[in-house]
């Protein structure tokens, strides 16, 4: 359920874009009602951007109402979607919303790599250390792998955004990103499986 909760704004973004793409003139009229004159071709991405902002705000409000802890990652995502999404809406330029995933990915990579390099703190170990026992070298590899993956994902997002159509990028934002994440998690599972054997946590490096 948490996976679907985290993915909610992305699903909302994708669904809104597809619906607006089938009726761009209708979507254009929605913006006209609030005084925003835009071409029909821009309406789908702007509708999707509004939906993504609303979806992220709804997530935060839901957790607040239920008095649950709001993860730092969600706060960061909220700030980025408001800033980059807001710029897209105000300037009628999809470039900003296309950069949002890359900035988020690169920020994650920087935090993971920077915490280890500058402060000697492995954030993955801090989060998972109570559930999994591994030697320090293995934790270092895991941290580096995730930092590298996020850095790569940021680059791939820009490649798709600038080399392919807007519609293809929207598809990639849901299917491509989720697929690459799943493949990476499966690869990590094979790595972690070595350390899940009872009584052998220190036999590997």
pTM for the full model?
0.87
Model confidence pLDDT, tens digit, residues 39-62: 999 999 999 999 999 999 999 999
Residues 6+ apart with CB under 8 A from 13: 48, 49, 51, 52, 55, 170, 173, 174
Model confidence pLDDT, tens digit, residues 108-146: 999 999 998 888 888 888 887 767 788 888 889 999 999
Domain residue ranges in the chain: 1-91, 94-205
Residues 6+ apart with CB under 8 A from 10: 52, 173, 174, 177
Per the prediction, the chain carries an average pLDDT of: 90
For residues 126 and 29, what is the distance between their CA atoms, to the nearest angstrom? 50
């Amino acid at each position: 359920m948490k996976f679907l909760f985290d993915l909610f704004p992305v699903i909302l973004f994708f669904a809104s874009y597809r619906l607006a793409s089938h009726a761009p003139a209708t979507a254009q009229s929605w913006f006209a009602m609030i005084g925003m004159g835009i071409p029909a071709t821009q309406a789908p991405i702007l509708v999707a951007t509004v939906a993504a902002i609303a979806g992220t705000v709804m997530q935060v409000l839901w957790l607040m109402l239920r008095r649950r802890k709001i993860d730092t990652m969600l706060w960061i995502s909220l700030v980025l979607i408001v800033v980059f999404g807001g710029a897209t809406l105000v300037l009628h330029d999809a470039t900003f919303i296309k950069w949002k995933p890359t900035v988020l990915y690169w920020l994650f990579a920087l935090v993971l790599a920077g915490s280890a390099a500058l402060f000697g703190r492995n954030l993955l170990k801090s989060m998972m250390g109570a559930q999994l026992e591994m030697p320090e070298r293995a934790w270092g590899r895991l941290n580096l792998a995730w930092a590298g993956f996020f850095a790569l994902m940021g680059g791939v997002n820009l490649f798709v955004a600038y080399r392919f159509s807007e519609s293809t990028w929207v598809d990639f934002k849901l299917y491509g990103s989720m697929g690459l994440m799943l493949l990476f998690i499966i690869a990590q599972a094979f790595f972690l499986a070595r350390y899940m054997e009872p009584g052998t946590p220190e036999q590997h490096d």
